Structure 1
C-alpha cells in the first residue's frame, strides 16, 4: 500500500473503532453479530461523522434491525424466478407473472442485485414504462408484481426496505366494468349463435367466469332444480393448453341458482350440444373439441359488432352486468359476492355465505326483472308495428 493512503491513527471505542487516513478522511469499523469485522463503505469528513455512523449501526444491532450489508447482493432475475416458482399460483397467474417479468421488469432490473434497486430507480422505471407502452393497466400489474417480490426480499432480510413506495402506482384504471342492458344481453346471445347462447346467459346471470364454464360437466347441471355447481376451472394458456385446476379461490366453488327464464335454454343445450355421459363437457365446439378461448373470442367479437356494442366490452363485463342486475333486483352485496364466487381477505371477515334459499330468492328477483323488461320491449315493438300498419292503411 502506498504511504499516501496509509492509516494514521486509530481510536478504539466501546463499540467499534474509528481511524484517520493521512488524507484527513476518517473510516469506521465494527464487529457484526456473527463476529465478522465490517468496515463502512464510505469515508467520513470528520471523526464525529464516523462515530455517528457507528452509533447508528450499534442502535440497529440493539433493536435487531441490523442487516448484513452483503445480503442484498443477490441477483434480482434469479430471485424473481425462484419467487414465482415458490408461489404455488394457478397456471394462468404464473403465465401472467412470467410474461410481466420478461417484457416489463427484467429488461431493467434483471441484471441488478436486490440492494441496487432503489426508490428513484423504481420511479424512473415506472415513468419509462408508462411513456413507452401507453398501457397504464399493464404497468400497474407490473408494479404490483415488482413490489410483491421485493416485499418478500424484505421478509427474507435481504434488503432493509421495499423501494416500491409510489402511492397508487399499483391501482388499475382500466375501462372494464361496463354494464349491458337486458336487451343487449339477449341480442348478444342471439348473435353469437345457438351453440354458445347459454354461455352468454351464464356469464351474465350466473355470473360465471369463462374458465369456470369451460370446465363445467353434465353432472354439474341439475336441470330440474335449475342449479349449476362450479367445482373447477380450465383457463387457457397462451400456448393453447387447457390448465385444468381449482377455481380462482375457495369461494369460486359454489352452487349457482339460475333464474326460471333460463330453463328452456338450459335443457335445450343439454339435449343438443353437451357431451354425453356424466363427465361430458357442457360446452364443446362444432367439432366436439373442448372450449377454446381463441375460437370463442372470434365469435364474441363478431357478435359484439353485430349488436353494436363497443369494442372494449369484454366477455368478463357480463359478470359486472350480472352484479348490477342482481343488485337492481334486490340482491345485497353479500348475495352478489357469493353468487359470483368472489372473495378477499377483507370480505372473508365481513361476509358470511348467503344460504341456498336466499340464492333462490335472488334468482327469482332476476327472473322477474328480466321477464318484465322483455315484456315491456315486446309491447313497444307491438305499438311500433301497429303504428306502421296505420301509416300503411292511410
Structure 2
C-alpha cells in the first residue's frame, strides 16, 4: 500500500493510511453499507486482523450493527412499559421505579452505554442512599428485564445486569397477629371498618378484593362471599376495577360461624343499597379511600401495640396460619387465598415458636402413647401351658417361664 493516502482494494473491506500515519479500516455490513472501525490502528496488520474478525462475525451471524445501541434508554424504557400487558398497580410500580431510581442514572444514556460496571455502581449508590433493599431489588429486576429485551431486539450484545442475587427480595418473616390482637384492632378501627379487619384476617380477602365487594356477592344464609373482581386504588387515588390478581382469585370464601353476627350487622348499617351497592363505603357514602382507611389503621395499630411495620395485608398471613394449625392442607390454603401457585401459597406456611411448641407437644404425646401401649402389653400375663409355679424348675423360674 502506498503512503499517498489512497487505499487499495481488498478481498474484504478496505484499509487506508491517514495523514497522521495511522491506518483506518472499513468494511461492508450485511446491508452493504460501509462502516468504519471505531478506532484507528498503528499498523496494517492490526487493521487487517480487525477486518478478519468482522468478516468472521458476519459469516457466523454474530454481527450486530454498531449503531443499533444508539437508542436512548429513557425512550426505550417508557416504550417497554407501554407494550407490556400489566395490571394498573404493576404499571404504577414500574413507572415509580423508573422515575425515582433508574432514569436519574441512565435516562440520558444510550442502551449500549450502560455497562456492567455502571450498573454495579448504580446499585451500590441506591442501596447506600435509600437503605431500601426490597425497593432496589425491584428496580434492579426492572432494569434487567428492559435490557434483556434490548438483547432480544439485537440492540445490545449482552445484558449488563449480571449481579448474582441482586434482584431477589429478602423480606423479613411475615408478622402474625394473635386472635386477641385482631379483635382489639377491629374494636379500635371503628364500627364501619371492623368487618373489613375480620374479612382481611379470616376471609382472608385482599384489600382490592374487599374494595370490589357488592351486596350480590354476600350470601348471608350460607355465610359465604363470592370474590368476582378487584378494585385497586392507583397512586392518583382513582379506582381501577378489573379482574382478580389471578384466575384462582375468583373464588367462593366460606366464613367461620363466629362472623355471622358481624356480617349481618354491617350489611344492615353500612353497606350500599341495591344488589350493586358496595359492601364497604366511606363516611360520605362514596367508595372508601386508601389514605383515609390508612390513617384509621395506623391509629388502631398503635393502640393494639403491634409492630409499626404490621400492614393490613399481613392479616391474611394471620388467618392462613390459624387455618393451617386447624388442619388445612396446602391445597386448602391455595383455594382460600386465591393463589394460583404453590410457591405463593407456601408464603403462608408459617412455623413460629408457638407452632414449633405444638409440634414438639404432638411428638411428645405420640411417643408417650406408644410407650404406654408397650407397657400395657407387657403387663398382660401370658397363658400358662406348663406346670404350676411350685412344680417349675429354678431354670424355668429364672427365665420367667
Q: TM-score, normalised by structure 1?
A: 0.80
| Alpha-carbon distance between aligned partners in 1 of 2:308 and 2:120, rounded to the nearest angstrom | 33
Deviation at 1:24, TM superposition (A): 5.5
Deviation at 1:315, TM superposition (A): 0.8
Q: Structure 1 residues 27, 107: closer, same or farther in 2, change over 3 A?
A: same
Which runs of structure 2 are paired with 1:123-162 in the superposition (5 Å)?
A: 123-162=120-159
Tell me which residue corresponds to 1:167: 164
What is the CA deviation profile of residues 18-69 of structure 1, one whole-angstrom value per residue up to 9, with x for unaligned ones? 4555655444332211111122212344555444433443343333232211
Q: Give the conservation status (yes or no) of the 8 Å contact 2:231–2:239.
A: yes
| Alpha-carbon distance between aligned partners in 1 of 2:151 and 2:202, rounded to the nearest angstrom | 44
Deviation at 1:172, TM superposition (A): 1.9
**Unpaired segments ≥5 residues, structure 2:** 347-354, 356-401
SS of corresponding position for 1:147: helix
Q: Which deviates more from structure 2 when the two are superposed, residues 192-201 or residues 334-343? A: 334-343
Aligned equivalent of 2:34, options 33, 37, 58: 37
Q: Give the conservation status (yes or no) of the 8 Å contact 1:175–1:312.
A: no
| Alpha-carbon distance between aligned partners in 2 of 1:52 and 1:319, rounded to the nearest angstrom | 64
| Alpha-carbon distance between aligned partners in 1 of 2:254 and 2:81, rounded to the nearest angstrom | 37
What is the CA deviation profile of residues 313-340 of structure 1, one whole-angstrom value per residue up to 9, with x for unaligned ones? 1111112223322222222333322322
1:343 aligns with 2:340: yes
Q: Which deviates more from structure 2 when the two are superposed, residues 47-56 or residues 270-279? A: 47-56
| Alpha-carbon distance between aligned partners in 2 of 1:330 and 1:50, rounded to the nearest angstrom | 74
Q: Structure 1 residues 62, 228: closer, same or farther in 2, change over 3 A?
A: farther
Q: Which deviates more from structure 2 when the two are superposed, residues 258-267 or residues 289-298? A: 258-267
Tell me which residue corresponds to 2:209: 212
Coordinate RMSD, CA, aligned: 2.6
Which runs of structure 2 are paired with 1:58-137 in the superposition (5 Å)?
A: 58-137=55-134
Deviation at 1:7, TM superposition (A): 4.2
| Alpha-carbon distance between aligned partners in 2 of 1:330 and 1:57, rounded to the nearest angstrom | 66
Q: Give the conservation status (yes or no) of the 8 Å contact 1:216–1:283.
A: yes
SS of corresponding position for 1:316: helix
| Alpha-carbon distance between aligned partners in 2 of 1:6 and 1:107, rounded to the nearest angstrom | 49
Tell me which residue corresponds to 2:238: 241
| Alpha-carbon distance between aligned partners in 1 of 2:7 and 2:35, rounded to the nearest angstrom | 18
Q: Structure 1 residues 226, 112: closer, same or farther in 2, change over 3 A?
A: same
Deviation at 1:260, TM superposition (A): 2.4
| Alpha-carbon distance between aligned partners in 1 of 2:326 and 2:4, rounded to the nearest angstrom | 84
Tell me which residue corresponds to 1:12: 10
Q: Structure 1 residues 303, 6: closer, same or farther in 2, change over 3 A?
A: farther
| Alpha-carbon distance between aligned partners in 1 of 2:213 and 2:280, rounded to the nearest angstrom | 7
SS of corresponding position for 1:229: strand
| Alpha-carbon distance between aligned partners in 2 of 1:46 and 1:227, rounded to the nearest angstrom | 83
Which runs of structure 2 are paired with 1:206-285 in the superposition (5 Å)?
A: 206-285=203-282
SS of corresponding position for 1:256: strand
Q: Give the conservation status (yes or no) of the 8 Å contact 2:24–2:36.
A: yes
Q: Give the conservation status (yes or no) of the 8 Å contact 1:75–1:113.
A: yes
Deviation at 1:287, TM superposition (A): 1.9
Deviation at 1:114, TM superposition (A): 0.9
Q: Structure 1 residues 201, 10: closer, same or farther in 2, change over 3 A?
A: farther
1:315 aligns with 2:309: no
Which runs of structure 2 are paired with 1:287-366 in the superposition (5 Å)?
A: 287-343=284-340
Deviation at 1:160, TM superposition (A): 1.4
Q: TM-score, normalised by structure 2?
A: 0.79
Q: Structure 1 residues 8, 334: closer, same or farther in 2, change over 3 A?
A: farther
Q: Point out which structure has higher relative CO (alpha carbons under 8 A, 6+ apart).
A: 1
Q: Structure 1 residues 49, 190: closer, same or farther in 2, change over 3 A?
A: farther
Q: Give the conservation status (yes or no) of the 8 Å contact 2:7–2:14.
A: no
| Alpha-carbon distance between aligned partners in 2 of 1:230 and 1:80, rounded to the nearest angstrom | 35
| Alpha-carbon distance between aligned partners in 1 of 2:150 and 2:99, rounded to the nearest angstrom | 19
How many matched pairs? 345
